Amino acid sequence: MSSVPEVVGVVGGGRMGVGIAHAFLTAGSTVIVLERDSATAATAQESLCRAIDASVARQSTSESRGALIARSSTTVDVAHLATAELAVEAVPEDLELKLEMLRRVESSIPTDAWLCSNSSSLSIDLLAGSLARPERFCGLHFFNPVPNSSLVEIVRGRESLGELIDNARGWVAAIGKTPILVRDSPGFASSRLGVVIALEAMRMLEEGVGSAEDIDTAMVLGYKFPVGPLRLTDMVGLDVRLGIAEYLERTIGPRFAVPEILRKRVAEGKLGRKSGEGFFRWADE
Ligand SMILES: NC(=O)c1ccc[n+]([C@@H]2O[C@H](COP(=O)([O-])OP(=O)(O)OC[C@H]3O[C@@H](n4cnc5c(N)ncnc54)[C@H](O)[C@@H]3O)[C@@H](O)[C@H]2O)c1
């Protein structure tokens, strides 16, 4: 039977990091979340407690709140990851920041530990370039929101060991999710497909083909998408999707050209759900 690592370090306790920590925690791991300062560490701890409360309330765990809290901690000291069997990096999608954090984390975890990145789009081989042990590194791309998403994309780098890929499949199964395996390529499978549809939906909105609601409904009712591409962009963050589209345009080509409407909304601070407005208004939700 697949099992999770005994100790998992999660680097960056934001939206994704907390979800990832919670997934491993409720599957039996001890989790340590590394944050950048004491204020963000406190916020991450609160978010993790809320996630624990929610899973206890919906009885998706057989463990008590106390037992789960006792196996989780946050820290600002990378040396606290010294016992981690696996570290998952989930800091913002910024190449330089990720390179620096991966380097720091690799030098603090045991030499036989595994290291993964939750990057949505950055090349795993590029990220591995900063590492002393690139063979122990791969992508482990979770979806948002982590508790409700059953997919995890395992991204195999040029040097990732087969043993790591086998382990990753096992970890994903042990946290109750389904892995897919893709080789390292820009946007992997999911971001590349998700973003190309979203960019086309934005161009259609820009050209006045239909309203945001109607364009989304075409995909929800016509193709059984759980959420339309524009609403999903609001949920992910327009700024986040802009960053990924720019990267895909640079690496894959002009079919990922960024629509003007996306640039304009980001420049106006209309970032989606987190700012109250993107392609939809979220004030009352
Ligand atoms: N949000 C999504 O929908 C989504 C989905 C899949 C993957 N991702 C990827 O997950 C990663 C994180 O995204 P997110 O949405 O959770 O971002 P986020 O901004 O919510 O969280 C990032 C966290 O990293 C912390 N951080 C920043 N610098 C740090 C440092 N030096 N040391 C430790 N912690 C630091 C921040 O304080 C923050 O809590 C990105 O690579 C993103 O592309 C995001």
For domain 190-274, is the CATH number 1.10.1040.10? yes
Q: In tens digits, what is the pLDDT along the chain, a chain of 285 residues? A: 579 999 999 999 999 999 999 999 999 999 999 999 999 999 999 999 999 999 999 888 889 999 999 999 999 999 999 999 999 999 998 899 999 999 999 999 999 999 999 998 889 999 999 899 999 999 999 998 899 999 999 999 999 999 999 999 999 999 999 999 999 998 898 889 999 999 999 999 999 999 999 999 999 999 999 999 999 999 989 998 999 999 999 999 999 999 999 999 999 999 999 999 999 999 865
Tokens of 191: 């971001």
Nearest atom in ligand 1 to 121's CA: 43
Pairing mode of beta strands 178-183, 114-117: unpaired
Distance CA 147, CA 242 (A): 25
Tokens of 207: 């050209």
Question: How many A from CA of 14 to the centre of ligand 1?
Answer: 5
Calculate the alpha carbon distances from 73 to 47, 155, 236 in Å: 12, 28, 27
Secondary structure class of 253 (helix, strand, coil): coil
What is the rounded CA–CA span in Å between residue 185 and residue 156?
A: 9
| Distance from the alpha carbon of residue 117 to the mean position of ligand 1, in angstroms | 11
Domain boundaries of the chain, sorted by first residue: 7-183, 190-274
Q: Find the 94 Cα to ligand 1 centroid distance in Å.
A: 9
Distance CA 105, CA 21 (A): 16
Using CB distances shorter than 6 Å, the residues near ligand 1 are 11-17, 34-36, 40, 90-93, 101, 118-120, 142-144, 236
Atom number, ligand 1, closest to the C-alpha of residue 91: 24
Q: Whose CA is nearest to atom 11 of ligand 1?
A: 90
Q: Which CATH number fits domain 7-183: 3.40.50.2300, 3.40.50.1860, 3.40.50.720, 2.60.120.10?
A: 3.40.50.720
d(CA 120, CA 140): 9
